[in-house]
């Protein structure tokens, strides 16, 4: 997809990256695809043995039968005494013999696709940048004349500017990997050029999976998915008082942010909307960065939320480790649930965990903006959960996503009569009217309950309000 249709036939391409970035795996996938099309393929290796390639392919369950693997050992590196030069050891003769062997093998096999692994060995034999460039150009012209689609691999092991090679080839693809402070390494791919092709620019996350090889997650571009959706009425929560505050409920094709301190019931409130959607026959996805699947279902059972009745069919719970999942993979996961399974409700719990999967906050904001725009255009009701630092009094959060959210619900603790209470208010709703009231809510064995407007309190959002006692206005616990 990011190449705009694949490699250009009968042209030379450059695949570059540091050792361990997955170049060999990606090159093998290219040849396997050619094999599936009925084309002849040739893998020329100067740095990795034939048995090593076969073993690497076997780890993914790939069969290289039908793909010619030519292990080329330059004469000066061979242990075969018959191939040693006993009189002259000039670099001209070493490089010349190596190239001649390559050409002879290509003429013999007559492949449609060729992988040359790697240019680092040619660079060493060339001895200088000018001769190296000329030799790569000669190889490129030879492969093109033979009607081959060539893929040159470069290890980027030399600390030198190899950008001059970019002008020689038809396309340039670079694989990168780096290590974050904690967690698995991150990988990304970028197409530098692809002549005459409208390719997907920028960086795209990818992973290497056993049995699948290199899996690329194209950067999500929301503008490409603006197909529109059937307008429906607001999605209610099943709690009359809460729906009244929201002007009927949450609108489809919008994103809602539930913000508040830890323990204030943000996840429970989101789960209430999800459960009501499941009862209507909709499909929902709950992505949790902070809670395990076991704890989620255990907590839901304590609130009389019957999620197991919908699990696996309408309801999907995904536990995500932010240290192991790249942002691109998360976006691709959500896209698959929405487009392939018809999911109409998505919950991300919480954005604090999502932020940990991003290399920097500014990237998170850009990623989240594109992701929310995509989900909105697909008619998905998205619920975001964001934890604030603190319990009562002034609070703050590491990121501010209120400007990206269409609806914002604010949860707060407040203290009165020697007891800790909870209050909720709707501070924003772009798509319609809403109440500006502050109401108490309680979470117990029967689930979530919302009371009347707390009109006899002042300073509730500060955590220590002034109260004119009137017990009937507060929710009482019920067994």
411-429 in b/e burial notation, b at 16+ Cβ within 10 A? bbbbebeeeebbbbbbeeb
Q: Is residue 153 part of a domain?
A: yes
Q: Quick one: 131 and 265 in the same domain?
A: no
Asked which of 154, 186, 219 is the last residue of a domain, the reply is: 219
| Residue 423 to residue 439: CA distance in whole angstroms | 5
Q: What is the pLDDT along the chain (479 residues), one digit of tens a residue?
A: 899 999 999 999 999 999 999 999 999 999 999 999 999 999 999 878 888 999 999 999 999 999 999 988 654 444 444 444 333 333 444 788 888 889 999 999 999 999 999 898 888 888 888 888 899 999 999 999 999 999 999 998 765 555 578 999 999 999 999 887 777 788 999 999 999 989 999 999 999 999 999 999 999 999 888 888 777 889 999 999 999 999 999 999 999 999 999 889 999 999 999 999 999 999 999 999 889 999 999 999 999 999 999 999 999 999 988 778 888 898 999 999 999 999 999 999 988 777 766 655 457 788 889 999 999 999 999 999 998 876 665 666 666 778 889 999 999 988 877 788 899 999 999 999 999 999 999 999 889 999 988 887 788 777 667 766 654 566 666 65
Asked which of 219, 254, 277 is the last residue of a domain, the reply is: 219
Q: Quick one: 66 and 169 in the same domain?
A: yes
Q: Is residue 44 part of a domain?
A: yes
**Per-residue pLDDT, 115:** 97
Q: What is the pTM of this model?
A: 0.85
**Per-residue pLDDT, 438:** 93
**CATH number of the domain that residue 439 is part of:** 3.40.50.300
Q: Can you read off the two tokens belonging to residue 107? A: 């003429």
Contact 208, 25 (CB under 8 A): yes
Q: Quick one: 196 and 283 in the same domain?
A: no
Asked which of 188, 219, 250 is the last residue of a domain, the reply is: 219
Q: Quick one: 213 and 285 in the same domain?
A: no
Q: Quick one: 258 and 196 in the same domain?
A: no
Q: Is residue 160 part of a domain?
A: yes
| Residue 384 structural domain | 240-467
**Per-residue pLDDT, 309:** 96
Q: Quick one: 203 and 351 in the same domain?
A: no
**Per-residue pLDDT, 471:** 47
Within 13 Å and on the Cβ side, how many CA atoms surround 385? 24
Residue with tokens 């950008």: 163
Q: Is residue 144 part of a domain?
A: yes
Q: Quick one: 167 and 308 in the same domain?
A: no
Task: Please state the three-class secondary structure of the chain as a single string.
Answer: CCCCCCCCCCCEEEEEECCCCCHHHHHHHHHHHHHHCCCCEEEEECCCCHHHHHHHHHHCCCCCCCEEEEECCCHHHCCCHHHCCCCCCCHHHHHHHHHHHHHHHHHHHCCCEEEEECHHHHHHHHCCHHHHHHHHHHHHHHHHHCCCEEEEEECCCCCCCCHHHHHCCCEEEEEEEECCCCCCCEEEEEEEEECCCCCCCCEEEEEEECCCEEEEECCCCHHHHCCCCCCCCCECCCCHHHHHHCCCCECCCCEEEEEEECCCCHHHHHHHHHHHHHHCCCCEEEEECCCCHHHHHHHHHHCCCCHHHCECCCEEEEECCCCCCCHHHHHHHHHHHHHHHCCCEEEEECHHHHHHCCCCHHHHHHHHHHHHHHHHHCCCEEEEEEEEECCCCCCECCCCCCCCCCEEEEEEEEEECCEEEEEEEEEEECCCCCCCCEEEEEEECCEEEEEEECCCEECHHHCCCEECCCHHHCCCCCC
Q: Quick one: 139 and 258 in the same domain?
A: no
R_g (Cα) of the chain, nearest Å:
30
Q: Is residue 226 part of a domain?
A: no
In order of 32, 116, 131, the CA distances from 283 in angstroms are 37, 48, 62
Q: Quick one: 313 and 429 in the same domain?
A: yes
The DSSP bridge pattern shows strands 213-217 and 203-209 to be antiparallel
Q: Is residue 135 part of a domain?
A: yes
Q: Report how many domains make up the chain.
A: 2
Q: Is residue 463 part of a domain?
A: yes
Contact 345, 383 (CB under 8 A): yes
**Per-residue pLDDT, 86:** 35
**Per-residue pLDDT, 128:** 84
Q: Quick one: 264 and 180 in the same domain?
A: no
Q: Quick one: 184 and 246 in the same domain?
A: no
Q: Quick one: 259 and 183 in the same domain?
A: no
| Residue 377 to residue 228: CA distance in whole angstroms | 6
Q: Is residue 84 part of a domain?
A: no
Contact 464, 444 (CB under 8 A): no
């Amino acid at each position: 997809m990011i190449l705009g249709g694949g490699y250009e036939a009968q042209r030379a391409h450059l695949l570059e990256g540091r050792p361990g970035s997955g170049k060999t795996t990606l090159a093998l996938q290219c040849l396997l695809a050619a094999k599936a099309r009925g084309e002849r393929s040739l893998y020329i290796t100067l740095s990795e043995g034939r048995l090593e390639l076969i073993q690497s392919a076997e780890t993914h369950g790939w069969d290289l039968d039908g793909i010619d693997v030519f292990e080329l050992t330059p004469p000066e590196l061979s242990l075969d005494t018959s191939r040693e030069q006993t009189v002259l050891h000039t670099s001209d003769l070493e490089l010349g013999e190596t190239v001649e062997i390559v050409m002879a093998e290509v003429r013999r096999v007559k492949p449609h696709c060729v992988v040359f692994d790697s240019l680092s060995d040619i660079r060493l034999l060339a001895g200088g940048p000018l001769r190296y460039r000329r030799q790569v150009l000669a190889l490129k012209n030879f492969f093109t004349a033979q009607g081959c689609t060539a893929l040159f691999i470069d290890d980027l092991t030399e600390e030198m500017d190899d950008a001059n090679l970019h002008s020689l080839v038809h396309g340039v693809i670079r694989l990168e990997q780096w290590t974050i402070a904690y967690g698995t390494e991150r990988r990304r791919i970028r197409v530098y050029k692809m002549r005459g092709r409208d390719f997907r620019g920028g960086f795209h996350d990818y992973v290497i999976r056993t049995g699948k090889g290199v899996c690329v997650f194209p950067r999500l571009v929301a503008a490409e998915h603006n197909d529109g959706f059937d307008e429906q009425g607001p999605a209610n929560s099943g709690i009359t008082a809460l729906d009244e505050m929201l002007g009927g409920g949450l609108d489809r094709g919008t994103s809602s942010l539930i913000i508040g301190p830890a323990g204030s019931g943000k996840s429970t409130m989101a789960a209430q909307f999800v459960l009501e959607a499941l009862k209507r026959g909709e499909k929902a996805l709950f992505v949790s960065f902070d809670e395990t699947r076991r704890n989620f279902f255990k907590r839901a059972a304590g609130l009389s939320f019957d999620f197991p009745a919908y699990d696996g069919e309408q309801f999907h719970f995904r536990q995500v480790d932010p240290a192991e999942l790249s942002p691109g993979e998360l976006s691709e996961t959500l896209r698959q649930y929405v487009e392939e399974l018809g999911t109409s409700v998505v919950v991300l719990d919480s954005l604090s965990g999502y932020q940990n999967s991003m290399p920097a906050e500014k990237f998170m904001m850009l990623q989240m903006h594109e992701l929310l725009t995509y989900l909105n255009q697909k008619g998905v009701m998205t619920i975001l959960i964001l934890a604030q630092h603190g319990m009562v009094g002034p609070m703050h959060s590491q990121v501010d996503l209120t400007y990206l959210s269409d609806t914002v619900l604010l949860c707060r603790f407040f203290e009165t009569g020697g007891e800790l209470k909870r209050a909720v208010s709707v501070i924003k709703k772009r798509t319609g009217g809403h109440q500006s009231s502050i109401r108490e809510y309680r979470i117990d064995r029967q689930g979530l309950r919302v009371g009347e407007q707390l009109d006899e309190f002042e300073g509730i959002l500060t955590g220590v309000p002034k109260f004119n006692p009137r017990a009937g206005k507060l929710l009482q616990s019920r067994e």
